[in-house]
Structure 1
Amino acid sequence: MNRDPFEEYMKESEPGKRDKGYAWHTAIGLQAVDGLKTSNYLVQTAVRNIEGEITFEQANALLQSYYEQNPVSDLNDRTEEADKVAARIARLLSEKAFSFTPNEYLSIHRKLFTGIYSHAGCIRDYNITKKEWVLNGTTVLYGSATELQATLDYDFSQEKMFSYKNLTMNEMIHHLALFVSRLWQIHVFGEGNTRTTAVFFIKYLRTLGFEVTNDIFAKNAWYFRNALVRANYNDLKNGIHETTEYLELFLHNLRSVYKELHADRETGC
């Protein structure tokens, strides 16, 4: 088994290197939600960034130059996408700025996929279905194209009004699982929904006091996606009901890095 190149950085006492190590580790791991793998060149570039040799801007410029000089000829090879999106995710996760708004959600998609998808940052105007491995090829019912903006606005407004005050950890996790599963089910974009949702959710969790610096998103990205699928699928005639239990199991791994919320803190503040 190849050694994780970011393992030592995540044990670093120097906060800058440690935080960048986690950001890159998570960014690369999240490509698995779409079955993508990054290149060795990206790992080398990431290490240079963590070591302080290059900035995130320079890392992205190097990737752009690399693929201009080494174009991918196989249309089924999505390594370039995986590399570029991973670098952009690492940068976003390293930034502290965040606002709990639909515009922030759309902005994250645009920042991740500009130059990769023509619809980067745009709400889809057509209905979609997707065959899911965990459902034996069946699809989740995604949001209707005519209602996407209204549905997105509604979910954000409901979450912003919700108070986590006096809730137990189990109650918090159950509610967070409901929120992220509903946000994902809208499937606002034609492609890139899961990675966008994951980045947004990680940054949102930080505003709630969760220091998301463990391996759950990096090492369990595929599980995370399948848990989102299961949270939004019903087949009542066969006794199958949507459930957030798998998402809640995933989120319970955050318990060890949870910081107690201030007594008067509410979401969106």
Structure 2
Amino acid sequence: MEYSEGKLPPSYDVAENELPYQIKLALWQTAFGLQKVDGLSPSEYMVELAYENIEGKKGYDAIYREISDYHLKEHVDANTVEADIVSLRIAELLAEDHFLLSPSTLLGIHRHLFTDVFPEEIPVGKFRTVNITKNEPVLNGETVAVFGIQYLRKLGLHIDYSLFSEHVAFFRNALVLYYYQGEKQDKQYLKMFFENLLLGKQNVLSDEALRMKE
């Protein structure tokens, strides 16, 4: 898949250098971790650029330009392009301090993350009117994770970002089970995740247990 830099959505106005090193590191680790549930991994060059951002050497606009040029020059495969671009956009959004609890915010996050990443037949930044599938046990998405993190921070709650990067599959699958309309609906797994996230509990977040719910 070719990626056109000219089609990139405008980046958010983020005061990047105001964030501490450890916070930036956590945001990037979360961004990369959210790709794992789709079996995607960023390129080594994207990881290098991420550390330059963490260290305050490069902003998001510069990284957009450099990673897009790299993709075109090296003919990078579509999965790696997706992992690079979506990770970069997640890190950028998580560095943003503004949030409005609204469906339009959720759609805006989806649009920002996946513009020019998904094929044209898949709607971006819109509520879907057709079904799409992936070869995975259960589905949700990075959009909900980013929305949830921003909302919890807006409430003034402390966020342990490592839970999202280390247990992203559990979180995503727990969301699906929570909202499932039928006999498989189960709220206990999402409760376990948020008990660990907000209350410091040590529930075992086993994705295997979730898959047994299929």
TM-score normalised by the chain length of structure 1: 0.61
Deviation at 1:216, TM superposition (A): 0.5
Q: CA deviation at 1:19?
A: 1.5
Residue 214 (structure 1) aligned with residue 161 (structure 2): yes
1:51 maps to which residue? 55
Query: In the alignment, which of 114, 122, 136 is matched to residue 126 of structure 2?
Result: 122
C-alpha change, 1:34 and 1:66, in structure 2 (3 Å) is same
Tell me how far 1:132 sits from its aligned partner: 4.7
Correspondence 1:83-232 to 2 at 5 A: 83-117=84-118, 118=120, 119-128=123-132, 132-133=136-137, 193-232=140-179
Find the residue that maps to 1:205 and give its secondary structure. helix
1:128 shift after superposition: 4.4
Measured on the aligned residues, the alpha-carbon RMSD in Å equals: 2.3
Matched letter for residue 49 of structure 1? N
Aligned to 2:67: 63
Structure 1 position 36 matched with structure 2 position 37: no
Give 1:123 shift. Answer: 2.5
Q: Judge conservation of contact 2:30–2:162 (CA < 8 Å) in 1.
A: yes
In structure 2, relative to structure 1, the CA distance for the partners of 1:233 and 1:122 (3 Å cut) is closer
- Deviation, 1:217, is 0.3
Decide whether aligned partners of structure 1 residues 29 and 97 sit closer, same or farther in structure 2, where only a CA change above 3 A counts. Answer: same
d(CA) in 1 for partners of 2:99, 2:180? 31
2:21 corresponds to 1:17: yes
Letter in structure 1 aligned against 2:32: I
Whole-Å separation in 1 of the counterparts to 2:133 and 2:59:
39
CA contact (8 A) 1:27 1:87 kept: yes
Secondary structure at the counterpart of residue 186 of structure 2: coil
Distance 1:120 1:201, change over 3 A: same
**Displacement of 1:120 after TM fit?**
2.2
Cα displacement (A) at 1:133: 2.1
Take 1:99 and 1:125, find their aligned partners in 2: how far apart are those partners?
25
Which segment drifts farther, 116-125 or 226-235?
Answer: 226-235
1:71-107 alpha-carbon deviations (Å, 9 max, x no partner)? 135xxx5011011100000000001011111111111
What residue in structure 1 maps to residue 187 of structure 2? 244
- Counterpart secondary structure, 1:38: coil
Shift of 1:211: 2.2
Distance 2:133 2:161 in 1: 33
Asked if the contact 2:114/2:124 (under 8 Å) is kept, the reply is yes
Contact 1:231/1:242 (<8 A) preserved: yes
**Aligned residues of 1:110 and 1:120 also touching (Cα < 8 A):** yes
Instruction: State whether residues 34 and 164 of structure 2, in contact with CA within 8 Å, keep that contact through their aligned partners in structure 1.
Output: yes
Instruction: Give the conservation status (yes or no) of the 8 Å contact 2:35–2:41.
Output: yes
State the aligned residue count.
180
Q: Distance in 1 between matches of 2:99 and 2:19?
A: 20
TM-score by length of 2: 0.76
Are the counterparts in 1 of residues 159 and 198 from structure 2 also a CA contact under 8 Å?
A: no
**Which is higher, the Rg of structure 1 or of structure 2?**
1
Q: Assess if the C-alpha contact under 8 Å between 1:210 and 1:254 holds in 2.
A: no
Kindly, what percent of the aligned residue pairs are identical? Answer: 41
Answering whether residue 202 of structure 2 is matched by residue 255 of structure 1, we say: no
